[in-house]
Amino acid sequence: MAQTKSIFDQMSEMILSRQKYITDKLGELDGKKFLMDEWKREDGSGGGITACIEDGNVIERGACNVSIVHGKLSEAGFKQMKQNHEGMEWTGEPIPYKVCGLSMIMHPHNPMAPTVHLNYRYFETNKANGEPMSWWFGGGYFVS
C-alpha cells in the first residue's frame, strides 16, 4: 500500500513546481530568463532556490524564491508561538520544526503596471517521533 505524503512534503513539491511555472511563464513574457541559484545551509538544515530577473524587457527587477528549511525551536521561540497555537506542548527539549515557503516580488518597467508581492508558507512543529505537533499555513499577497 502506498504511503500518503505529508502535508509538508506536498507543500514543498507544490511551491517548487509553482516557482518553476512562474519563472518559466514570466521569462517567456519578458524575453529574458531568470537567473536560478540553488543554495543549501552550511549546517545541512535545508536550502532553497533564488530566482532573479533584472533589466528585462517588461520586468525591471524581480525575484521568485523558495526556502525549505528545518531546525529546533528554542523555549523562547516556543513561548511566542504557543500564544497562537494551543496544540503545542513544551517537552523540556528544543522542538523540531519544518518550514517551506514561496515569496515573490516583481517590479515592471511600466509605471502604470502594478508591482506584485506575495508570500505563502507552511510551518510545522514536530513531536519527538516526527509526527506533526502543530501546523499552519500563512502568507498573503498585494498588488500596488
- 40's enclosing H/E stretch is strand 35-40
- 133's enclosing H/E stretch is strand 132-143
How far out from the chain centre does Cα 104 lie?
A: 10
Sign of CA dihedral 91, 92, 93, 94: positive
Q: Is 70 a catalytic residue?
A: no
Q: Determine which one of 70, 85, 107, 117 is catalytic.
A: 117
- Strands of 35-40's sheet in order across: 35-40, 46-54, 59-73, 95-108, 116-126, 132-143
The answer to whether the beta carbons of residues 51 and 39 sit under 8 Å apart is: no
- Within 8 A by CB and 6+ apart from 48, the residues are 38, 39, 65, 66, 67, 68, 69
- What is the set of active-site residues? 117
